[in-house]
Copies of this chain bind each other. A is one copy, B any other.
Amino acid sequence: MLSVEDALSQMLAKITALPTVQVSLSEAQGLLLATDVIAQEEMPPFANSAMDGFALRSSDVQIQDGQSSPLRIIGEVPAGSVSTKTIQPGTTMRIMTGAPIPPGADTVLQVELTRLIDDQHVTLLRESAPGNNIRPAGEDMQRGQLILSQGTEIGPWEIGILAALGWAKVPVIRRARVAILGTGDELIEIDQPLQPGKIRNSNSYLLEAAVRRAGAIPFRIGVALDTKESLRAKLLEAARYDLILTSGGVSVGEFDLVKQMMEEQGEINFWRINMRPGKPVAFGHIGQVPLLGLPGNPVSTAVTFELFGGPVIRKLQGHTRLYKPQVEVILQDSFTETASRRHFVRAHVDWQDGQLVAQVTGAQGSHILTSLRNANALLVIPENSGALPAGSRVRALMLTWPEVASVLAHG
């Protein structure tokens, strides 16, 4: 049997990043920048005030008995406008945060350190050194400077930077479009009443949400029945996407049809992986499109998607960091389900007194859907591990990190 690591590395060796496309800035969120971003302008574009206050000449201010002689207010510079007046000795202008420094001024004193005498005159309560409260042009970015490197992940804050530089469109590595295909005559739609021998196609919905959480675009393309015609048609349809996820049809004795059809349409390997749940997994290509065949039990589908599907999607989208982190956590209760294969145990991991504590989510059979409830981590229990007492330290693959109930939680 293959190890999880060997299976992953064999899969990932066959995955290459999707092509670059131009998208609107809003659509770039979560994607990787496909070019270096060089500043074509200075930022700030003009020297501007860091405070609401008065722009003036520093040499005008001498404090005697706690205040300066009055300066005459010759106007104001709101943000967004440019002063046509020049600050002459003995004069000043009101200025707003972000507004351009008027000609002649070399300093800004904040409004809190001034006192109005009348509408046209102000005295200053402090001296103000040259450059005080002035943000020079280009202090943040110089023309020609590399601001964001190719391969940077575009989060909300990078979007802010790109917007400031005028990048309304951005070249990115394309978001993956993922076809999700159920297989098997036993599947009925989720809004249908149960019939003898049938179960609802829950996997397609689970995978749709998991693909979305992984940052790609899911497409549920329905169910392939256990006939050559149905399977062939669905695989052809699926091959129009960037990645095909199937669930079911990959275990040892299942209808050879799935295997036969997948091989007719491309090149597929059926693997047995040394893990629990989810031993059987298929991987290959339909035409040029990678196919990841997940087992049909919902729990196995869920776990194998996180282990294999997530990294495959990240590599398609250009990432080099493909994996969720594994951290050490403390077992809250004893765990006695032993397994000869490596066991990925569903658990809820939460902060407790500054430590991460794991609570296993009930019985761990691959048909026990309730073990998926509120789980945000997979405990990684090594092969042939014995029972683990409460308080044991184990590794947890963190799928999501819990928010906390107090703003100052776990110092």
Number of interface residues of A (CB under 8 A): 125
Taking a contact as CB atoms under 8 Å apart, the answer to whether A326 and B411 are in contact is yes
> Across the two chains, which residue of chain B brings its CB closest to A295?
B97
B-side contacts of A325, CB under 8 Å: 351, 401-404, 409-410
Interface residues of A in 57-100 (CB under 8 A from B): 78-82, 94, 96-100
Closest to A145 in B: B370
Q: Is the CB of B406 within 8 A of A369?
A: no
Kindly state whether residue A14 has any CB partner on chain B within 8 Å.
Answer: no
C-alpha gap A368/B297 in the complex (Å)? 51
Say whether B96 contacts A163, CB under 8 Å. no
Instruction: List the B residue with the shortest CB-CB distance to A306.
Output: B156
Question: Is A330 interfacial (CB 8 A cutoff)?
Answer: no
Residues of B within 8 A of A78 (CB): 185-186, 226, 255
Number of copies: 2
> Closest Cβ of chain B: how far from A347's Cβ, in Å?
12
Residues of chain B within 8 A of A193, CB atoms compared: 166
Determine if A164 and B403 form an interchain contact, defined as CB atoms under 8 angstroms apart: no
Contact B187 A80 (CB under 8 A): yes
Contact digits for A176-205, partner B, Cβ 8 Å, 1 yes 0 no? 000000001111011111101111111111
| A29 beta carbon closer than 8 Å to chain B | yes
Residue of A161, A297, A395 with highest tally of chain B CB at under 10 A: A161
Residues in chain B near residue A190, CB distance under 8 A = 25, 163-164, 166-168
A357 to chain B, nearest CB (A): 13
State the Cβ distance, A368 to closest chain B Cβ, in Å.
Answer: 5
The contact string, 1 if C-beta is below 8 Å from chain B, for chain A 198-218, is 111111111111101100000
CB of A129 to closest CB in B, whole Å: 17
Contact among B158, B205, B365 with A163 in the assembled complex (CB-CB below 8 Å)? B205
Residue A389 at the chain B interface, CB threshold 8 Å:
no
Q: Which residue of B lies closest to A148 (CB)?
A: B373
**A interface, CB within 8 angstroms of B:** 4-5, 8, 25-26, 29, 41, 43-46, 50, 52-53, 78-82, 94, 96-100, 111-112, 135, 139-141, 147-148, 152-153, 155-168, 184-187, 189-194, 196-210, 212-213, 226, 251-255, 296-298, 301-302, 311, 314, 319-328, 351, 354, 365, 367-370, 372-376, 395, 398, 400-411
Interface CB pairs A-B, < 8 A, 7: A29-B209, A80-B226, A94-B253, A139-B367, A166-B194, A168-B189, A325-B401
The 3 residue pairs across chains A and B that have the minimum distance between CB atoms = A52-B253, A80-B186, A160-B206
